[in-house]
Amino acid sequence: TVAPPAGTNFSTMNEYPLNACCDAFGQCGTTEEFCTNTNTGVPGSRAPGTNGCISNCGTDVVIGAKPSTYMKFGFYEGYNLGRPCLYQTPGQIDTSNYTHLGYSFGTLSTDYEVQIGDPLSMYTWDEFLRLEGPSKILVIGRWAFSTDTDTYNIFRQGVTAENRQTMANNIATFVKNSNVDGVCIDWEYPGAPDIPGIPPDSPDSGMNYLEFLKLLRTALPSNSQLSVAMPASYWYLKNFPVSDMSGVLDYAIFMTYDLHSTWDGGNQYSQERCSTGDCLRSDVNLTETINSLAMVTKAGLPSTKVVVGTTSYGRSFKMARAGCDGPDCMWVGSAGQSEAEPGPCTQTAGYLANADIEAIINNASRVTKQYLDSTSDSTILVYDDVQWVAYESDSLRDTRATLYQGINMGGVCDWAIDLQTCNEPPSRSNSWAEFISAVNVGSDPADVGNRTGNWTTLTCTDDAVTNIRGLTPQERWDELDCKDAWTDVISVWQNIDQGHDSLSFTESISDTLHGPENANCSQAGPLSNCEQTQQCSDFVGEGTGPAGYEIWNSMMYTSFIDAITGFAALSIDSSLSSFEDTFAPVPPPPSDEVAQLIIAFVTLGASAIAAPFFNSSKSIFKSLPYFAANPNILGIDKDLTSALITFGSNVAKDVITGGPGSAWTVEDQDSFSAYLGQIVFGCSNATTYTLAGLFNGSDAGITTLSTAIADSHFIEGNTGTPQTSTLSSETISDLEAAMTRVFYGFAIPLAWSATNKGVIVMDTGYTCDQAPLSADTLLELNLDTADGTQASSCYNNEIYYLVYYDTMDLQGESGDPPDDTFEPAPGSSDLDGTIWGTVTVDDIVKGAVRTYQQNGNENGGAVADPTHPGTLADLQNVDITTPGFIRIPVCSSGEAQNAVSPHYSNRINASDPNNPCVPLQGVTECESFTYTSETSSASALVSDCQDIINNIQQTTRLWNATLNIYIAS
């Protein structure tokens, strides 16, 4: 170490890796003995019996901002078809449970080409690529690849200056060609000096790894995700330049599992209070996990980039003595040899899949004891007297996920989803043995039935695929032999799959054509997997051909465009002028807030009516603020955006964001209404709730569908884009009713907000059994209603009123005294459930109160987030009272009356958008008061105390004034 300048703080020199704590003796680590500061006041001092801490002290997790999306990353073992049992194909994954799926594993050859593996792995890889929904991530590496004698040196050499560009380019090319969403590098571990059986790694590997990742980041497509796996062990993590990596990575998989196993044996430092390392300890100990999270966040990885590991397996041991199963009890075996019973499917001693564990639990005769260990927060199962396993049950895994979300981690990952439960063989196979045998000999088990014509012999390089500009749709349809392909897929459905309960019509078509997994177009919802058109490369393999992608896209166009055509004459357009007269008779002033609310309606309306088919990354809504921040939420395929661009994007630029500086006029209001009408039309275009009849596989449905897609009606060519077909009038009516209710449920409060009407929901403080309120009570509440019931609503046994105050009356006209009476909200008398989308006063009140309550009984809550499961469920059920949809201020009558009272005009923030539901501001100037004690029982005057109370009432209870009280004796 070079001698530092005078005055240098020695504790800042040669800081230990990962910002670990260092004690007064110069020893460093991450546990309390190193991290607890016991300084007694003298520099370098420490309390007796402690090591003290002089650098990077503390063991708290560094909590950052909340992530925009909480990740649920599921690892899928692509090689699982090669084990004796516990199989799963990618098509059997419930994709709704995950935001990301990681295919494990890809590897690298010695010349750094990406490899997937044997025929079984290649099969699962191809099927994995056809999954829809979650981001698809290729995971390259694994423990075995990083440590086997044949392959350990590939990563070590690949990150060196001579090879890192080649390795980065090859991985990036594979990612691009495979069309996956990103890559995760799982190198275990750079710089490791002590992995058995292989030489120590160079201490330079950590920095070399960083330089490689920088090159890989540059080589990948700009929208690709890049991540790495990081160990939860300080010993191995210290070689990672964590802080520098955080600027390159989108997130890191933090492997907070395998914290303990037989490898602890003989290591006196591996377990606290167990010098021999052979005590029964959980591999998912929560205390140790939190300590590791503190370590990695202190090291410089933002909490939002930490994806915390959870498990669908457990680490097991054979107990040294029956009946002794606590953390101080021992296991038998050695660091290199477990005597625990192997799982029947994983066939690894000391490692049990959750599916294996559940099978044991279901055989009660084998279970000795099962309990939740509060110390480690792990589920413990003792079975067959001396077999012990610690694991995370499904409920515990969910609890952990909630815990990590509460400290703003980026998400959770699960190793591995194919270990969770046993699956039946796929629909077209009688057994797993038959299925796997077919894959091993190069056949696709999904290929059943006859193939006619030549459609399966064509490829994506044929002229009918590549020469779209040179051929008409009809020519392309004929050259791809789509007619024979359609005949074959229908034959497979009618003669083979139709009687199979677990296979829907569109799943049958998709399986035959090698299309998207789990497709069910008869189901409207985010799980339909019918929302996107596909490319030719998505339909490859034996028994299929390019005709497959055009047939599939034709079905998708039908789903989209059938919904579009039926809404050409929506009644909303013709009602907008009347709507303005009823709810917004005065043109609203310019308002960016109103513009943002209108943009938000695009989001909410689409989610409520058409979310299942708004899932493309090419949406025209990408230019709007909400979708720019949430790029994977809504969208439609580029071939269907022209209409939406016409009446959405252009008007949004000119009207919502506003041309430079014009005030709102009648003409502007007309444009505003026209824009709202176009938004309604745009949202309704994607509505597909009633497509079941078309896609249910019935003879009538097949006939209709065949007619619709026949003769190239829905494929591209040099004569234009697909034409449309029409939904039934009943379907149109249902969709129109849903759309109008959603529209007016949002537009009515929006109109009140835009015109600054000050509409509020007033909480009277009376219960519903006291209704109707008397005239005297209404007078006391400053309510001007004709019969005491107009604009009133009962919700949760509380009486509310939907009212507003007229600012002109408040100011007074022609010398008249001000009028602070609250009147029924404009148009509320029309909200009786017969017009305006059947929206009622009860709907408005309930929605406003639910928004207020969800925001912690405060106004100003955020607009409903359509990505939230509860919100999406409400909106898809056309429940406009979902929190955040109706955002009218809610307050007590006292708070509202104070806000409009001239007496408190200097204590009200009149510009607050929630006015008059705003608390009084605290008094900033107080009169002085001196109380002289005369050693008697005298006290301050009651009026003085009442003044203090009056100043506090109806405020936020927050003060910024200094109160000086002088007591003279």
Instruction: Tell me if residue 188 is catalytic.
Output: yes
Task: Confirm if 614 and 636 have CB atoms less than 8 A apart.
Answer: yes
Distance CA 498, CA 493 (A): 5
- CA–CA separation, 740 vs 833, rounded Å? 12
Say whether the peptide bond before residue 916 is cis (omega within 30 degrees of 0).
yes
CA distance readout (Å), 444 to 127, 441, 529, 547: 11, 9, 22, 18
Interacting residues of 935 by C-beta distance below 8 A, sequence separation 6+:
none
Instruction: Quote the CA–CA distance of 342 and 314 in Å, as a whole number.
Output: 12
| 3-state DSSP assignment of residue 908 | coil
348, 342 Cβ separation under 8 angstroms: yes
φ, ψ for residue 503 (rounded to 5)?
Answer: -120, 120
- The candidate with the shortest Cα–Cα distance to 311, out of 237, 380, 390, is 390
Residues in CB range of 810: below 8 A, 6 or more apart: 818, 819, 820, 900
H helices present in 710-780, as ranges: 729-754, 775-780
| Helix axes of 666-685 and 571-583: crossing angle, nearest 10 degrees | 140
Instruction: Please give the single-letter amino acid code of residue 94.
Output: D
Q: How far apart are CA 968 and CA 620, in angstroms?
A: 73
Shortest CA distance to 840 belongs to which of 800, 893, 871, 890? 800
> Which token pair is 614?
């708004």
Place of tokens 């109103």: 594
Residues making up the chain, counted from first to last = 969
Query: Distance between terminal CA atoms of the chain?
Result: 66
Cα–Cα distance list, 813 to 758, 819, 820 (Å): 19, 10, 13
Contact 781, 765 (CB under 8 A): no
Q: What is the sign, positive or negative, of the torsion defined by CA atoms of 766, 769, 772, 774?
A: negative
Q: Choosing from 188, 288, 479, 517, which is the catalytic residue?
A: 188
CA distance 628 to 154: 39
Task: For residue 940, give the 3-state DSSP assignment.
Answer: coil
Residues facing residue 355 across a β-bridge: none
Cis geometry, peptide bond prior to residue 75 (ω within 30 degrees of 0):
no
Residue 200 burial (CB count, 10 A): 10
State whether residue 176 is helix, strand or coil: helix
Residue 333 dihedral angles phi and psi, to the nearest 5°: 130, -155
Task: Measure the CA–CA gap between 362 and 776, rounded to whole angstroms.
Answer: 68
CA-to-CA distance for 540 and 544, rounded, in angstroms?
A: 6
Q: Which residues are catalytic?
A: 188
